[in-house]
């Protein structure tokens, strides 16, 4: 099977798994992959992550011309901003999961690092997760806000919207996304309970031993 065909199958399989586990409802969310020839696969506009047809996934040229499949999601600028600023990025996952989206709405979170240091795994897979402002869906300002970060963040959360996570592969980006959502769930459930967080020394040790790829 060609890289193109295999990646289309992988996108449909991973998207369905995430949909089935409630990580993105209805026709929300989008996934993309950068292929070895510099072209891109990205989920089509208005599609449900639960019922993607591999043959209809949008195949875009390196200059973003539609080569095959259905018309792509309107969130292309958001995805491209990660590919342009993070050399290691080969995939981007953007979903509307419940706890991470809720966390973005709370008044006392740190906009420079939305996830509190609760477990080592979010730090290892994501680094610091930046909160970005609210934008209308499809607004080119989302992409520009990611570019303004100069590739310093593997993941962001769009306020009142949802997370966007990049990775070296689609599977790694999906794993990192799931870790983000689970950490956000812990953070929301533990509010008011005064949980014992990792110390700054522990965080520093994790970051040194497991730096996030740029």
Catalytic residues: 75, 121
CA 2 to CA 49: how far, in whole Å? 23
Distance CA 23, CA 98 (A): 7
CB distance 48 to 27 below 8 Å: yes
Residue 56 DSSP symbol: G
- Alpha helices (H) along the chain: 3-20, 76-85, 98-105, 120-126, 140-147, 170-189, 200-209
Paired strand residues for 205: none
Report d(CA 5, CA 192) in Å as an integer.
48
CB 180 within 8 A of CB 95: no
């Amino acid at each position: 099977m060609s890289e193109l065909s295999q990646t289309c199958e992988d996108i449909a399989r991973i998207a369905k798994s995430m949909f089935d586990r409630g990580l993105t409802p209805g026709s929300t969310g989008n996934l993309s992959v950068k292929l070895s020839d510099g072209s891109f696969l990205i989920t089509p506009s208005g599609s449900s992550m639960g019922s993607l047809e591999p043959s209809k996934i949008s195949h875009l040229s390196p200059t973003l011309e539609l080569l095959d499949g259905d018309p792509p999601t309107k969130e292309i600028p958001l995805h491209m901003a990660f590919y342009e600023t993070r050399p290691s990025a080969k995939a981007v996952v953007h979903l509307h999961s419940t706890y991470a989206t809720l966390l973005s709405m709370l008044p006392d979170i740190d906009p420079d690092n939305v996830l509190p240091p609760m477990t080592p795994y979010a730090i290892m897979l994501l680094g610091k997760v930046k909160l970005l402002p609210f934008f209308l869906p499809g607004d080119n300002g989302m992409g520009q806000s990611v570019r303004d970060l100069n590739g310093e963040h593997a993941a962001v959360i769009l306020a009142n919207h949802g997370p966007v996570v990049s990775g070296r592969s689609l599977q790694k980006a999906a794993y990192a996304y799931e870790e983000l959502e689970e950490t956000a769930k812990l953070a929301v459930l533990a509010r008011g309970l005064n949980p014992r967080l990792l110390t700054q020394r522990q965080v520093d040790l994790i970051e040194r031993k497991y730096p996030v790829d740029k």
